[in-house]
Amino acid sequence: MTRALVIGLDSVEPSLVFEEWADDLPTLSALAGDGLWGRLRTTVPPITCPAWPASLTGLNPGHFGLYDLKYRVPGTYTKFGIVNSRMVGKPRAWDYLTEAGRKSIFLFVPVTYPPPRLNGILVSSFLTPSVRSDFTYPKEVKEEVLGLVGGPDGYIIDVYDYRRIPPRELYRQLKAKTEHDFKIIKHFLAKRKWDFFMAVIMSIDRAQHTLWKFFDKGHPRYEEDPELEEGLLDLHRQIDAELAEVLELIPPDTAVVVLSDHGAKRMYHRINANELLAEEGFLKLREMPDRPTGLTELDERGLIDWGGTVAYALGAYIAQVFINVRGREPKGIVEPGEEYLSVREQVADFLSSVRGPDGEKLDNRVYLREDAYRGEKLDLMPDLTIYFDNLHYGSNEAIGFGSPYSLETAKGPDDSNHGELGMFILRDPEERVRGRAEGLVIEDLCPTILDLLEVPIPPGLDGESVLRR
């Protein structure tokens, strides 16, 4: 029976791996050369917290209602919580494998805190609150994990505030985090029995946002810095070298998948979506703030007139627009049905027409809720999702810039935005599939895992096994 190993590389851009840096990444290039490879279309929006659950459920995010790292608390406009594993509410790959008697190990996969029960081991990811939390299943595995890195003080949950850390220090911390994670990965690969093993590395995601401008000479904020020019590439090289060591630890009959949940691309500016909506009269303010102010603070200060507001936007990478629908929102004024459709069309037309700072036309993409999503939790999803300049421009939900454009949010500046395409590689020991693949989607991962391990694929999934294309 074939075993399977999946290595997730959060935010890795396929054009860099398959093209620009292919010669610098021999392990990934060899895997692609021996197997199936291609670009993979991810969720709308291309964000970690809906994407990885979609990959492991095989379902569109409309089935579980996640569209960002945070979610709106029901009955509110601007109170938010952080997503957690219990919110997914759908079987994930480990549930099917457990039912089939297969033993699994999952390390650092996003949206796995609190850890679920499974036949095997799970160590949760960057949403783990602290090392004091019970972040493993079973609980006793926690001590084994901490012992590998010198105790609680040596365990790295995440590199926090990565947008604010000086670039050289960020680079150093991300190298250390990558080494830390692969040390744990290699331990469990070698020391525990498993039929399926999956781990996700977050370092590239954290690096893209701050180190992109040092290698991309076409970036408007390109900085020439000999020490950081290859910083992002060096992190890819480090992962590639670690992956080579990982492959030495697995039996020859192991199927190997490497994928990213989304890509990345240079960011020129941000569009201050709510500032524009306010100027156009879609969002009603009682008073314009004298400094950039987030929606939550504006709401707490009573500066938003929800009774006069028809639309507002959330999101930092993309604009997630919600129409103020009567009966759905706390103070909704837009009637469901024809009025809703009319208002939504007006907002979509307005935001799709936004131009750049010099009046240049932008390649703005608009996704209607029913086109981007399907599933029983459609009502939780944004009514409109806007990719400004097809993600070369980010969005900003704060108001008070005095301009439609900005370079940073409250969390800090970004050099890159998320991209709509991730990467996918499968080396199948039975060589059933090889060459370049087209039409892959993030939801294909779960049925592919089950197919590789000869576990029945349940009906109703949105993805399909790449072995059956």
Cα-based distances in Å from 366 to 42, 327, 348, 372, 383: 16, 25, 7, 10, 10
pLDDT of residue 419: 98
Q: What digits encode the pLDDT tens for the residues 7-51?
A: 999 999 999 999 999 999 999 999 999 999 999 999 999 999 999
**Could you tell me the two tokens for 87?**
């919110």
Which SS3 state, helix, strand or coil, does residue 372 take? helix
426 pLDDT band (50/70/90 cuts)? very high
What pLDDT shows up at residue 362? 98
CB atoms within 10 A of CB 147: 12
Q: How many CB atoms sit inside 10 A of residue 32's CB?
A: 24
- Do residues 318 and 385 touch, judged by C-beta distance below 8 A? yes
pLDDT at 413: 79
Q: Determine which helix (DSSP H) or strand (DSSP E) holds 449, and give its type and residue range.
A: helix 445-452
At 426 the three-state DSSP class reads strand
- Whether residue 1 has pLDDT greater than 70: no
Among 3.40.720.10, 3.40.50.620, 3.40.50.1000, 3.30.390.50, name the CATH number for the domain at 3-265+418-468.
Answer: 3.40.720.10
Q: Is 440 helix (H, G, I), strand (E, B) or coil?
A: strand
Domain ranges of the chain: 3-265+418-468, 269-413
pLDDT exceeding 90 applies to what percent of the chain? 96
The per-residue pLDDT for range 164-182, each reduced to its tens digit, is: 899 999 999 999 999 999 9
Q: What is the pLDDT of residues 306-329, one digit of tens each?
A: 999 999 999 989 999 999 999 999
The pLDDT of residue 168 is 95
* Token pair for 404: 């439609």
* DSSP secondary structure, 60-126, as one string: -GGGTT--SSEEEPTT-SS-EEE--GGGT-S--HHHHHHHTT--EEEES-SS--SPPP-SEEEE--T
Torsion from C-alpha of 331, 336, 342, 344, nearest 10 degrees: 60
Q: What is the phi/psi pair of residue 231, to 5°?
A: -60, -50
Instruction: HSE, CB side, 13 Å, CA atoms: give it for residue 246.
Output: 30
Residue 205: is its pLDDT beyond 70? yes
Tens digits of per-residue pLDDT, 97-130? 999 999 999 999 999 999 999 999 999 999 999 9
pLDDT exceeds cutoff 80 at 411: no
Triad 386, 37, 363: Cα angle to 5°: 20
Distance CA 452, CA 463 (A): 15
Residue 407 has pLDDT above 90, yes or no: no
Q: Is 117 exposed, middle or buried (0-12, 13-18, 19+ CB in 10 A)?
A: exposed
Give the side-chain half-sphere CA count within 13 A for 120. Answer: 27
Residue 164: half-sphere exposure toward Cβ, Cα within 13 Å? 6
Residues 230-264 have pLDDT tens digits of 999 999 999 999 999 999 999 999 999 999 999 99
Calpha distance 76→160 (Å, rounded): 28
Calpha distance 344→337 (Å, rounded): 11
Give the pLDDT confidence score for residue 143 in this predicted structure. Answer: 98
Query: Above 90 in pLDDT, residue 412?
Result: no
**CA 102, CA 452: separation in Å to the nearest integer?**
12
| Mean pLDDT estimate for the chain | 96
